Structure 1
Amino acid sequence: MTKWTAADVPDQEGRVAVITGANTGIGYQAAAVLAGKGAHVVLAVRNTDKGNAAADRISASAPHADVAVRELDLTSLDSIRTASDELRADYPRIDLLINNAGVMMTPKGVTKDGFELQLGTNHLGHFALTGQLLDNLLPVEGSRVVTVSSNAHRWGRINFDDLQSERGYKRINAYGQSKLANLLFTYELNRRLSSKGAPTIAVAAHPGTSSTELTRNLWPVARRPVELVWGLLSQTADMGALPTLRAATDPDVRGGEYFGPGGMGEQRGYPEQVQSNSSSHDEAVAQRLWTVSEELTGVTFPV
């Protein structure tokens, strides 16, 4: 079987790619590859100092790279609204929206709007951003919304009775719920796009076990042993970015597909189309989550 690598990314000249959380990890690696292939890449990041440093690194490695930085705090609906307004004005054409940013297993906390931190950042923030940028993708043939999920979706459950984990909070459960929400959102968005005959598709990806900063929020007593095991199992961030890049650029990709590492347990390896669990394909849950997400964020979609 052919191994799909960054060398397989087609020419991206003339395309505009917006990537959240692109100052580090797999988001940075995906941004660097897309910029190197000719795309105008927008790093949508919470910390613009780190974003500018990332843009400088990309430009140093690819002198002709076209990279911009925009401030985006996914824990704030006001910040998402401001960023979306600026992006819509600056980029009438958006070819790729890559919903990459995320937090993992944080201590109990809430976003600026009172949402549980992991659900609010990983799902609701990206839901609101996508809804406000979609008008700029819809006229663009071949445009895509790529949302990064995780193997953690397999233990996730959407608890509508306590969606914000107010009655009981477990980091691992809240993370699983947010990653399952990413897939439910992707599949429901693609169904809606398809039903309207839109040229835009929605696709998902996951990086397997990759060496990034996500473990920084683990309990201090557990962090060191987890990082040791993680280091033995994980692959580099540039390998972890390949499923995202394939979902974003492979011309054979179809809406509603899901990409991850092709090795054992989808932990590492070259990107292949993979299958998510049955819960992620529950259309009734997806539609209910969509409705709740609209109510919580105040964002409705043009599909």
Structure 2
Amino acid sequence: MAKFPRFMIITSGIGAVVGGAVLLKDFIIGHGHKLPDTIRADGKVCIVTGSNTGIGKETAMELARRGCRVYMACRDLEKCRTARAEIISDTLNQHVHCRKCDLADFDSIRQFAEEFKAKESRLDILINNGGIMRCPRTLTKQGIEMQLGVNHMGHFLLTNLLLDNLQSSAPSRIVNLSSIAHTRGTINFEDLNSEKSYDPGAAYNQSKLANILFTKELAERLKGSGVTVNAVHPGIVKTELGRHMGFENSITASIFVKPILSFFLKSPVQGALTSIYVALEPSLESTTGKYFSDCKQKEPSEQAKDPTLAKKLWATSEKWTRLNSNSPSYSASPA
């Protein structure tokens, strides 16, 4: 029997281990389906919130690559401009625009919507991507707990302000980024603003459940309009979203925990796949009110399917955002 050199045996062993690790990672974190490059979006107008980094940036990049006119709605314009330059350089699409939109400030959201409407008459795709996770208890400009305010209330207001553009551009699509964390969430109407007690994880879970309830109720209200709205779980993704997690600044964690944890996380490119899929997949043109993960329709939690809960949250959100109010002031307590 022929003998193989030791280095060949070692190399084969390493290859098998690496290959097995890749397969294990794919099995654990799941993966999305990259749409064929033949699926284009030339001339479509889209907005992606929180698109200066992470999943949002990669989503804006892919939409621009497929021909969209992209509006990057971001709080930090300097970071937005840097990301925009990279997107234009990579895609050669010059129709990528930075616009100020602070989801923690209803005045900023309203100004963004007004300026967008003055520039564009149509809106084909709205991707409510921006978010914050497990931060210390802070408040938005209008006094709302930050995670609920940014992740849900800000996008609730923005979407409603842009509905006429979406409806006049039908068929059009809304994509709301939620999370599998919604399965651990409850809508605590007795302390919705976390004034009596605050737990960063519980507040985040509540905001992600709110994303799906908002999706369900909006889909009901938009039936027959040609506008679809769906929620997605992007996966557990390595982005700046986890900057408030306790181990981020730990030297010990940086050495031992982060390399292991990173193995089980999706990249931002992988995290953007489901958003892109739901926004552009032709077979989903009439699919609405659903929840997707890894580019497949999944069942959300039972609470997320409760129509009574969804309607109650909608009514509260209308009140807190002053959606139907003509008053220019939003500084009063939401209670």
Q: Which amino acid aligns with 1:116?
A: E
Q: For residue 332 of structure 2, what is the aligned residue in structure 1?
A: none
Among candidates 110, 122, 139, match of residue 168 of structure 2: 139
Partners of 2:299 and 2:257 lie apart in 1 by: 26
- Name the structure 2 match of 1:113: 142
Instruction: Provide closer, same or farther for how the CA distance between residues 51 and 206 of structure 1 changes in structure 2, counting only shifts above 3 A.
Output: same
Q: Structure 1 residue 124: deviation in Å?
A: 0.2
> 1:42 is paired with a residue of what secondary structure?
strand
Q: 1:213 aligns with which of 233, 240, 265?
A: 240
Matched, 1:260 2:289: no
Where do residues 171-210 of structure 1 align in structure 2 (5 Å cutoff)?
171-194=200-223, 197-210=224-237
1:236 corresponding residue in structure 2: 267
Partner of 1:266: none
* Residue 107 of structure 1: how far off its partner (Å): 0.5
Aligned to 1:59: 88
SS in 2 for 1:7: coil
> Aligned to 1:165, what secondary structure does the other structure show?
coil
Q: Given the alignment of the two structures, is residue 283 of structure 1 paired with residue 310 of structure 2, yes or no?
A: no
Q: Which of 193, 212, 226 does residue 164 from structure 1 map onto?
A: 193
Pair 1:37 & 2:70 matched: no
The answer for unaligned runs of 5 or more in structure 1 is 262-270
Q: Which has the larger radius of gyration?
A: 2
Partner of 2:42: 13
- Offset, 1:3: 6.7
The RMSD of aligned alpha carbons is 1.8
Q: How many pairs are equivalent?
A: 289
Tell me which residue corresponds to 1:92. 121
Listed as ranges, the gaps of 5+ residues in structure 2 are 1-30, 326-335
Residue 97 of structure 1: SS of its match in structure 2? strand
CA distance in 1, matches of 2:73, 2:292: 23
Task: Say if 2:182 is the partner of 1:153.
Answer: yes
CA distance in 2, matches of 1:227, 1:158: 32
Q: Is the 8 A contact 2:68 2:95 kept in 1?
A: yes
User: SS at the partner of 2:204?
Assistant: helix
Change (3 A) 1:200 1:96: same
Residue 47 of structure 1: which of 53, 71, 76 is its match?
A: 76
Could you say which residue in structure 1 is the equivalent of 2:104?
A: 75
Question: How far has the Cα of 1:7 moved from its partner?
Answer: 3.0
Deviation per residue, 1:197-254 (Å, 9 max, x gap) = 2011111111111111111012357863764553121111101100101111111110
Q: Distance in 2 between matches of 1:210 and 1:199?
A: 31
- 1:80 and 1:57 map into 2 onto residues whose CA distance is 25
Q: 1:264-275 to 2 correspondence within 5 Å?
A: 271-275=295-299
- 2:235 corresponds to which letter in structure 1? G
Give yes or no for contact 2:37–2:66 (8 Å, CA) kept in 1.
no
Contact 1:12–1:39 (CA under 8 A) maintained in structure 2 = yes
Shift of 1:4: 2.2
Are the equivalent residues in 1 in contact too, given 2:32–2:273 (CA < 8 A)? Answer: no
Superposed displacement of residue 142, structure 1:
1.7
Match of 2:28 in 1: none
TM value normalised by structure 1: 0.91
- Identity among equivalent positions (%) equals 40
Shift of 1:36: 0.6
**Offset, 1:280:** 0.4
